[in-house]
Amino acid sequence: MICTEDDQLLGWKDFPKGLKVLLLDEDCNSASEMRSRLEKLDYIVYSFCNENEALSAISNKSEDFHVAIVEVTAGNSDGVLQFLESAKDLPTIMTSNIHSLSTMMKCIALGAVEFLQKPLSDDKLKNIWQHVVRKAFNAGEKDVPESLKPVKESLVSVPQLQPVKSAAGDKSSNETEPFTTVPGNNNEHSSGCDKYPAPSTPQLKHGVRSVDDGDCQEHTIFSTEQDSGEHDGDAKSVETTFNNTVAESTVQTSPREQQGQTIVKEENGSSPHQKMEADIATSSPSNNCPDNRTSHSAEPSKASAPHSSSGTKTNKKKMKVDWSPELHKKFVQAVEQLGIDQAIPSRILELMKVEGITRHNVASHLQKYRMHRRQILPKEVERRWPHPQPRDSVQRGCYPHHTPIMTFPPYHCNHVPAAGQLYPAWVPPASYPNGLQVWGSPYYPAWQPADSWHWNPHPGLHADTWGSPVMPPSLGSYPPYPQNGGVYRPNGMQNRYSMLEKSFDLHPAEEVIDKVVKEAITKPWLPLPLGLKRPSTESVLRELSRQGISTVPPQINGSRGRS
DNA sequence: AGGGAAATAT
DNA sequence: TATATTTCCC
């Protein structure tokens, strides 16, 4: 497949060599690593640690870069998307550890030519030139940026390509997909060209990035003025001015590690993404495409960009946090790690390691999270355990002090006995204030109203849903739980429960029993629901052993052997 | 200071 | 209506 490059790209000797790559990665370490890798591949790399700098560089000399590689993280998606919008002319490849369809979609919709998931192989990196070629290819004769001329010329020299390109006059060429000659990713519409709609993102309007043809007409979308979002709002934030000088403000060169937030990227302003679908298309309203170059030079300063009405305003207003699936996932992981009753905003924030969000944001999200749980769990519980048991010592044990909130106990009451607090303060899970059983409700049972969540791209998966396990046990990507790891229950109960949760609907009876048994193992002093008999000591021990638990806490061992 | 939840904004 | 932000109270 990769036939060509050597034979055909005669115009640019050693073709990929010398291609200028703009590298944008908040994590400077990662950036430099990538940089060296790219350099080994003979690309010329210009790396930036924040989008403002990158945008600035682009606006000052737009034609200089052939392709951009941008790292997306849960925390920087806003900035990245902003970048995408602003750098429409530059074929932009996203790279990320994130495996989120919605994030990918957003990026693609906003014009990314490709979304590469890490780890990146050298092959992937090596082939980024394809996008440059495609762009050169698709661009109208006159619109080929100076820097791409060589590439385009190379193409011209290729017989097979010739027709297409020449024909490219504009649209006639539709049939002759140039893609055939370009190995690799065929999907994607890359730059603009409505001619080649992006197969990969059918539902999105491809027009988003109009690019090439300098036409920047407002791509079709005039779906009302939903731009509203931006401009207006800011009444609060001052700043209005905005001199495009975007760049300066934040310089975050330090490794993201945990230096805490500090750097808040403010971009936003219009936040194109916010909601996928529809908006995406419209999103760009703000941006005027014009700005861009095509006509190089222009005024450096104001050209930059997006500004215009709302685009990248540098205004530091509040930045509305978009709880993307990734971000939420991090949130959930943090909460799970801490345990519900210790999950307080500041700690969650710490664990999330996401810059750009504040404790308040987390608190707010936590509030919502809890609310959902309260709302949903009872139902789940009820459904599974329709035998409310009167009892009312209730609601206190697990809850440290106040916290009348939860309708169910923090999960470690059931599943993650944090050494210290399991026995002492535990409360009969039999029922809670509302009289609901809670055995069947592990820490993260079903909070997944998800379908209604616009950003849940995987209806079938629990991963991104509220309160549900983030990963299936087998994937083991779940971070170990520091507080319980090895102490009482060395290995994977957590996942076990997750799994149970998941299969619950499939085999209720079995799972319920299984779960109850485990519950009994963990908390022998509890009464069993549903008239189940306690397992024998032997079976309990066997089960524990099977799970790799060799040492049995005295309570279990001694308290009640069998019923 | 910081958590939590109500009030408020979008 | 739902979600995020702001405000208020502990």
C-alpha span between A140 and A136 (Å, rounded): 8
Which is higher by pLDDT, A384 or A464?
Answer: A384
Nearest residue: Cα versus C1' of C3: A368
Kindly state whether residue A67 falls inside one of the protein's structural domains.
Answer: yes
Q: Which domain holds residue A329?
A: 325-375
* For residue A33, pLDDT beyond 60: yes
pLDDT for A16 beyond 50: yes
Average pLDDT over residues A124-151: 73
pLDDT at A41 over 80: yes
Residue A465 CA, nucleotide C2 C1', distance (Å): 16
Q: Which nucleotides of B are covered by protein (CB under 7 A)?
A: 2-6, 10
User: Would the pLDDT of A362 be above 60?
Assistant: yes
pLDDT of residue A541: 59
Using a 10 angstrom Cβ sphere, with 0-12 exposed, 13-18 middle and 19 or more buried, the burial of residue A292 is buried
* Whole-prediction pTM: 0.34
Average pLDDT over residues A492-510: 38
pLDDT digits (tens, 9 = 90+) for A424-449: 222 323 333 333 323 223 333 434 43
**Rounded Cα distance, A369 and A497, in Å:** 20
Residue A121 has pLDDT above 80, yes or no: yes
What CATH number corresponds to the domain at position A94?
Answer: 3.40.50.2300
Average pLDDT over residues A349-371: 86
Which of these three, A102, A124, A139, is where a domain ends?
A: A139
The confidence score (pLDDT) of residue A536 equals 55
- The answer, yes or no, to whether residue A260 has pLDDT greater than 50, is no
Beta-carbon contacts of A327 under 8 Å, excluding residues fewer than 6 positions away, are A74, A75, A77, A321, A352, A354, A357
- CATH number of the structural domain spanning residue A356: 1.10.10.60
Considering only CA atoms, name the residue closest to the C1' of nucleotide B6.
Answer: A367
Residue A44 covered by a domain: yes
Position with higher pLDDT, A179 vs A160: A160
Could you check: is the Cβ of residue A235 within 7 Å of any atom of nucleic acid strand B? yes
Q: How many domains does chain A have?
A: 2
**Alpha-carbon distance A150 to A144, whole Å?**
10
Residue A298 domain-assigned? no
Nearest residue to nucleotide B5, by CA–C1' distance, is A367
For residue A35, is it within any domain?
Answer: yes
Average pLDDT, chain A: 54
Give the nucleotide with minimal C1' distance to the Cα of A362: C4
Q: Would you place residue A373 in the very low, low, confident or very high pLDDT band (cuts 50, 70, 90)?
A: confident
The footprint of strand C (CB < 7 Å) covers A 236, 318-323, 360-361, 363-365, 367-368, 449, 452-453
Task: Quickly state the pLDDT bin for A487 (edges 50, 70, 90).
Answer: very low
Cβ atoms of A211 and A193 within 8 Å: the answer is yes
Chain C nucleotides reached by a protein CB under 7 Å: 2-7
CA A232, A236, A238, A239: dihedral to nearest 10 degrees?
Answer: -50
Segment A466-495 shows an average pLDDT of: 37
User: Is the pLDDT reported for residue A97 higher than 60?
Assistant: yes
Q: Which nucleotide is nearest to A364 (CA to C1')?
A: C4
Out of A139, A154, A178, a domain closes at A139
Mean pLDDT of A354-360: 84
Instruction: Report yes or no on A295 lying in a domain.
Output: no
Asked if residue A414 belongs to a domain, the reply is: no
Gap from A223 CA to C5 C1', Å: 27
Strand B reaches within 7 A of the A375 CB: no
Instruction: Write the CB contacts of A95 (distance below 8 Å, at least 6 apart in sequence).
Output: A25, A34, A69, A70, A71, A72, A115, A116, A117, A118, A120
Split at pLDDT 50, 70, 90, the class of A142 is low
Q: Of A112, A139, A166, which one is at a domain's C-terminal end?
A: A139
Look at residue A109 in the predicted model and tell me its pLDDT. 84
- pLDDT at residue A229, as a whole number: 35
Q: Domain for residue A329, yes or no?
A: yes
A43-57, pLDDT tens digit by residue?
Answer: 989 888 888 888 888
Q: How does residue A153 score in pLDDT terms, banded at 50, 70 and 90?
A: low
* A363 CA to C6 C1' distance (Å): 12
pLDDT at A543: 59
Q: Which residue has the higher pLDDT, A280 or A378?
A: A378
Q: Any atom of strand B under 7 A from CB of A156?
A: no
Q: What number is the average pLDDT over the span A343-367? A: 87
pLDDT at residue number A277: 34
Give pLDDT, residue A414.
37
Banded model confidence at residue A141, pLDDT cuts 50, 70, 90: low
**Residue A347 within any structural domain of the chain:** yes
Query: For residues A273 and A86, which has the higher predicted lDDT (pLDDT)?
Result: A86
Task: Give me the CA A368–C1' B5 separation in Å, rounded.
Answer: 10
